[in-house]
A and B are shown apart, each in its own frame.
Chain A
């Protein structure tokens, strides 16, 4: 072993940088190992809906350069008949806009949103502090308990259908669920809407913000915070295996052959990749290894980042500035697309959310989030399909494309039950000192950093316990 650290974080990305920064800030000798030679390899998510406010505060990310180009993107719903509606912070404007789609929906939306936001706020301890919904039931009001019981078993599709009339509105709201990695038709997926409502961006509940510089802007701020805190960051350092002795983690071995000792290892890789790809065979136990190795559908949201020569013309929908568009005609769009994905095809009409960089930005970038896409999907076929769909709404779009980065989903599919489990179930493993802190350890797929914060806190407590004894 060449060197010894208190903790090693495997994999950069937002969660890896948050974890290593928090560990270093707590006084641990922490190192981050990233396999690629660039710390900020791809453009990534252009919008943020769930970045943990505690992380922003603890790491003082604003002082390290994190700024937002847009603090609260509205959501534009596109109807198949050419109508559109904009859902924003102003409830009166939202009601007026929704009336163009359906008068009933215009009336139903605000009470629905209020009840959901109330429940979301009440459930924050579940997702921010690691409790299960059952543990905080007593703190809920009776209507909240009734709503929680319903959301815990109902599919988002069924719940939205019971409240709204407009196909386009239901589909746009269902995309929020799909973006979490949960199929809107899955039992219990309605809870994902409460998870979305529980999040806070830029001090606003349920807001979707756009950081200045996109995902790279956030990563640069995190990298600076980590390095200021004393964390070491090594790029071009691919981990080949995790070292285990006596049921406890002992360090990592790099592809180059170098071994680095550490009693704590935090992995941003998926549970499956970490436990069955990096650990010695069955190190977590034969039964657990069998569960991890069991084939499972792995799909999620892919992100396509188009660099454009100039902003595209969305015709009739251009009116709304700083907005997101959802291209999904109805709830059935999700089901049909999911069926195709399960057959291994790129769906003919996947659900897509588009976010255009704000006017005045250095360069024009359109970010498309596409659901459902398999982890090993054909990038070219996906790009062709998505570009074609955007072209239908923005004529001449293809001619404006200067570059296109495709980011396939990294983690496994999220089951609705993951939203309701305690954080230790997602973070801890059967190997002492090995913790998960990546997207797979989050309650839902999103750039949030909650898992990284919780895993770092867990690791710091373990470190103190060992140091104390």
Chain B
């Protein structure tokens, strides 16, 4: 008999999930939307939302050779930051294909935490074993809430926490009887508050109560995806399948706009030779669709010829139109290029064709924080 894997916030999430709309991510059952995903995403741009991010895969890498391991494993010098700091980085297959992307936070001299949107325990565990480093999955041990929106800083202040924290930094605090970790790892300029699983409901209630003055509302996974797409962030498992074979040369970081997460000065990371030698043939771009209906994973055409495909797509409440991430051939990736998208028909076998235009990424910048 299989049991539903839920986060420690599930009891509260179930109370708020009026339409009983659930989805799955990383094998967790999560609220797709508590009310209306578009409204939740819009609230993140004008007020503040709290989102359950406990589903993100997190592992501790600890041992005498942990520093050596992360230097070899990740595409950036993640051992350079001081304890309390973090870097975004990729890890690649031997053939140079992207296996995953995540945030590597330094906890101590030989202690690091990897947080990622998709699990890759097989690879990270194998690499850790080669270096004699212990990999401990802490995904179930802690849970977290992301506070996203211009009032996120004010909410943190209202909670009695110090909002002065640089992006990609974290600190541990003892707060009103709870051991918390406050971090700023997200792409949307907010904060994340992590606590032990037994303290989850207390944290949820306190944040919701303190956020009342800022019109806080919980945001489900659909709203988080809308914010990701507006920010032009591709996610493994959602937008692309990470390389699984050791010799895989695809997907290329450059074709996912993740090239900036490869540090050319950081020599010796796994897959370096193959990744730096490969020339991208496609580009990740944004597509503005002339329709309110999203077109995920649909062929993109130019004069009837396929020139790429869309990835995740959604209706953006801020832009009031459908948008999509897309991978296009280099020649068709210039902003403003008119294209068409073949959207599978819902009632007919023939696809309908929608006009689209290439847009620069991100579609929208992260919400501007209101000074605390």
Please list the residues of chain A having a beta carbon within 8 angstroms of any beta carbon in chain B: 246-247, 281-282, 284-291, 293, 430
| Assembled-state Cα–Cα distance A293/B132 (Å) | 13
What's the dominant secondary structure at chain B's contact region?
helix
Q: A247-B273, A281-B130, A430-B94 are in contact. Are A286 and B123 (CB under 8 A)?
A: yes
B 104-145 binary contact with A (CB < 8 Å = 1; else 0): 000000000000000000010011011100000000000000
Question: B93 within 8 Å of A by Cβ?
Answer: yes
Having A281-B131, A282-B131, one finds 18 other A-B pairs with CB under 8 Å, namely: A281-B68, A281-B72, A281-B130, A282-B72, A282-B127, A284-B94, A285-B94, A285-B246, A285-B270, A286-B94, A286-B123, A286-B130, A287-B94, A287-B126, A288-B94, A290-B127, A290-B130, A293-B130
Residues of B participating in the A interface, judged by any CB pair closer than 8 Å: 65, 68, 72-73, 93-94, 123, 126-127, 129-131, 245-247, 267, 270-273
Given contacts A281-B130, A282-B270, is CB(A287)–CB(B68) below 8 Å?
A: no
* CB neighbours of B123 from chain A (8 A): 286-287
B122 to chain A, nearest CB (A): 9
B246 touching A288, Cβ below 8 Å? yes
Residue among B65, B130, B267 with the highest chain A CB neighbour number at 10 A: B130
> Once the chains are docked, how many angstroms separate the CA of A281 from the CA of B130?
7
Q: Are B267 and A286 in contact (CB under 8 A)?
A: no
Shortest Cβ distance from A244 into B: residue: B268
**Nearest CB in chain B: distance from A45 CB, A:** 35
Q: Top 7 A-B pairs ranked by shortest CB distance?
A: A287-B246, A285-B94, A290-B126, A287-B94, A286-B127, A286-B270, A247-B273
Question: How far apart sit A22 and B68, CA to CA, in the bound complex (Å)?
Answer: 39
Number of A-B contacts (CB under 8 A): 46
Given A281-B131, A286-B126, A246 and B246 touching (CB < 8 A)? no
A290 to B124, CA, bound (A): 11
CB distance from B264 to the nearest CB of A (A): 13
- Whether A286 lies near B72 (C-beta < 8 A) is yes
Residues from chain B with Cβ under 8 Å of A285 in the complex: 94, 246, 270-271
Tell me the nearest residue of chain B to A432, going by C-beta: B273
What residues on B are CB-neighbors of A247 within 8 Å? 272-273
Chain B residues with CB under 8 Å of A288's CB are 94, 246
The CA of A282 and the CA of B94, in the complex, are separated in Å by 10
**Assembly CA distance A292 to B267 (angstroms):** 23
Known: A281-B72, A282-B72, A282-B270. A287 touches B130 (CB 8 A): no
Most buried by B among A281, A282, A291: A282
Q: Which interface residue of A284, A286, A290 has the most chain B CB atoms within 10 A?
A: A286
Residues of B within 8 A of A286 (CB): 72-73, 94, 123, 126-127, 130, 246, 270
Smallest CB gap from B93: residue in A: A287
Contacts of B72 in A (CB 8 A): 281-282, 286
CB contact under 8 A between A289 and B130, given known A247-B273, A281-B72, A282-B72: yes
For this complex, 10 residue pairs linking A to B, each with C-beta atoms less than 8 Å apart, are A247-B272, A247-B273, A281-B72, A282-B270, A284-B94, A285-B271, A287-B93, A288-B94, A289-B130, A290-B126
Give every chain A residue within 8 A of B68 (Cβ-Cβ): 281
Distance of A4 from chain B, by nearest CB (Å) = 23
A284–B274 CA distance with the chains assembled, in angstroms: 12
Q: Which residues of B contact A246 (CB under 8 A)?
A: 267
For residue B126, which residues in chain A have a CB less than 8 angstroms away from its CB? 286-287, 290
Q: Who on chain A is nearest to B72 by CB?
A: A282
- B273 surroundings in chain A (CB, below 8 A): 247
Do B267 and A287 touch (CB < 8 A)? no
Q: Which residues of B contact A291 (CB under 8 A)?
A: 246
**Distance of A323 from chain B, by nearest CB (Å):** 48
Name which of A285, A290, A293 has the most chain B CB atoms within 10 A of its CB: A285
A-chain residues with CB within 8 Å of residue B127 when the two chains form the complex = 282, 286, 290
Shortest CB-to-CB span from B45 to chain A, Å, is 41
Bound form: Cα–Cα A285–B97 in Å: 12
The complex places the Cα of A246 from the Cα of B123 at a distance, in Å, of: 23
Q: Give chain B residues whose Cβ lies under 8 Å from the Cβ of A293.
A: 129-130
B321 to chain A, nearest CB (A): 42
Please give the distance in Å from A344's CB to the nearest CB on chain B. Answer: 23
Least CB distance from B136 to A in Å reads 19
Chain A residues with CB below 8 A from B94, complex form: 284-288, 430
Closest partner residue, chain A, to B267 (CB atom): A246
Chain A residues with CB under 8 Å of B245's CB are: 287
Q: Is the CB of A290 within 8 A of B246?
A: yes
Nearest chain B CB to A386 CB, angstrom units: 38
> Which chain B residues border A287 with CB–CB below 8 Å?
93-94, 123, 126, 245-247
In the complex the two chains form, what is the Cα distance from A430 to B272 in whole Å? 13
Smallest distance from the beta carbon of B275 to chain A beta carbons, Å?
Answer: 12
- Measured CA separation A247–B126 after assembly (Å): 21
Q: Determine the distance from Cα of A97 to Cα of B127 in the docked complex, in whole angstroms.
A: 59
B271: A residues at CB distance < 8 A: 285
What chain B residues lie within 8 Å of A284 (beta carbons)?
Answer: 94
Residue among B65, B94, B271, B273 having the largest count of chain A Cβ atoms under 10 Å:
B94
What's the least CB distance linking A384 to chain B, in Å? 38
Which residues does chain A contribute within 8 Å of B270, judged by CB atoms? 282, 285-286
Query: Within the assembled complex, what's the spacing in Å between the Cα atoms of A291 and B247?
Result: 12
Min CB distance A289 to B, Å, is: 5
Q: Which residues of A contact B272 (CB under 8 A)?
A: 247
Q: How far apart are the CA atoms of A143 and B126 in the complex, in Å?
A: 46
Cα separation A288 to B93 with both chains bound (whole Å): 10
- Residues in A neighbouring B129, C-beta threshold 8 A: 290, 293
| Shortest Cβ gap from B51 to chain A (Å) | 33
- The minimal Cβ–Cβ distance linking A283 to chain B, given in whole angstroms, is 9
Q: Which residues of B contact A281 (CB under 8 A)?
A: 65, 68, 72, 130-131
